[in-house]
Homo-oligomer: A and B are copies of this chain.
Amino acid sequence: MQELTIVKVGGKVVEEAESLASLLRDFSSIKGPKILVHGGGRSATTMAQRLGVETKMVEGRRITDTAMLEVVTMVYGGLVNKSIVAGLQAHQQNALGMTGADMNIIRSKKRAKGTIDYGFVGDIEAVDAKGLSELLSAGAVPVIAPLTHDGQGQLLNTNADTMASAVATAMSEQYRVTLVFCFELPGVLLDINDHESVVELITPEKYRQLKMDGVVADGMIPKLDNSFAALHQGVAQIRITNTQGLAGGANSGTVLKL
C-alpha cells in the first residue's frame, strides 16, 4: 500500500507569519502524496469582531448563524486557504485549495437542533476518497478548509479535526495513512512547562493512565478520543507534533498506536 500523509494544522500555526513560514517549509519536505487540512478559528473570531458579528462558542464549538457563516466562508475558504496555497506554490508544491463543496469531496448534513442550535454546522456524511486519490495521482496537494456542503447548495462550518479524521479514515482503504495533528507544542507533554517531556508513544492502555494522572485533560481528550477512533477505523498511525516534527524522524512528536 502506498503511504499517504494527512496533516491537520491548527489555527494558531497558520495565523502567525513565523509559524506559517515554518509550516510551509516543513510540510513541503514531506515526501509522497499528502493532504493538508487547516483551521482558522482565531482569524474568524478576529474578523467577526471587526465586522461586529458576535462570536458564540459552546464547549469549544462555534455557533454559526448566517452572519458567522459568511465570516468563516471568507476567512477559512478565502483568506487562510489561499494564503497557504500561494505559500506552498512558492515551495513548488502543486497546492489546490478546496472546501468539501469543491468537487463534492466532503458532503455533510446540517446538525439537527438539539438543546443547542449550532446553526450552519455540518456533520460529515461522505468523503469522496476516489476523487481525492485521483487528485493525488495527478500530483495535486489538496489544502482543505474546514467547510463542507450539504449537496443542496448550503455551505456548512465543520470542525477541522473531525474533517482530518474523516478524510484519513476514508483514504485508509487505498493508502497506508499517517495522520499528523500539528500544533504549537512538540507533542503530548508530561509537564506542560517542559517541551522536552514529550510522551513518545500512547497506546490505549497508556492513554487511560495519562487521563487518570491528569496529564491529558480538557481540550486534548476529544482530540485523542477522535484519534483512537480513527485508528480503530483503519488509519495506520497518528502523530501529534509541531511543524518541526512534520517530516518525521527524531523528535517527531507523540505517536498514537493501537
* Interface residue ranges, A against B (CB under 8 Å): 24, 47, 50-52, 70, 73-79, 81-83, 85-87, 89-90, 94-99, 101-104, 134, 138, 140, 147, 149, 151-155
Contacts and interface: CB of A to CB of B under 8 A. Distances in A.
A77 B86 contact: no
Contacts of A149: 86, 89
A73 B83 contact: yes
Nearest 4 A/B pairs, CB to CB: A78-B78, A74-B74, A90-B153, A77-B78
A82 B134 contact: no
A75 to B, nearest CB: 6
Nearest to A24: B153
23 contacts: A24-B153, A50-B51, A73-B78, A73-B82, A75-B78, A76-B78, A78-B78, A78-B79, A78-B82, A82-B99, A82-B155, A83-B155, A86-B154, A87-B153, A89-B101, A89-B151, A95-B103, A96-B98, A96-B102, A97-B97, A97-B98, A97-B99, A97-B101
A73 B75 CA distance: 9
A98 B94 CA distance: 13
Contacts of A77: 77-79, 81-82, 97
B90 A152 contact: yes
Contacts of A154: 86
